[in-house]
Amino acid sequence: MELGAVNTQWTDERIIDLVRKQRNDLIKDFLDERYLKEYIDTKFRVHGLSNVVIELIRKDLKELLISPVNINHYEPLIRHIRSTDNPTLTDTDEQLFYKEVEFILKRYMYER
């Protein structure tokens, strides 16, 4: 082993798998209609979204669930795990996951 080389257990593939799992767990929470409505009500103070809008949001969330991880979006987290060899998420890291979901939510809430 070279001097100064870091022995890491967190390969890029493992980091991306971790990010995917965290992201998908959050998306699955939002696929629960009650959770989705409560979050929108609490976070954005938007009440009474129609069932059609809720279903459109859920459809987009399902598409996000099966899509590849957006490496550019999660780059700060990926870089942090890579450099520290520590997969513990901070509040700032968690906000990256919510930001991706909120992008979908805002698209439907503000197009009404």
Instruction: Give the separation between CA 92 and CA 72, rounded to whole angstroms.
Output: 16
Within 10 angstroms of residue 30's Cβ, the number of other Cβ atoms is 21
Question: Does the global pTM surpass 0.95?
Answer: no
Q: How confident is the model at residue 17 (pLDDT cuts 50, 70, 90)?
A: very high
DSSP letter string, 59-105: HHHHHHHHSPP-TTTTHHHHHHHHHH---PPPHHHHHHHHHHHHHHH
What does the pLDDT look like over 35-61, one tens digit per residue? 999 999 999 999 889 999 999 999 999
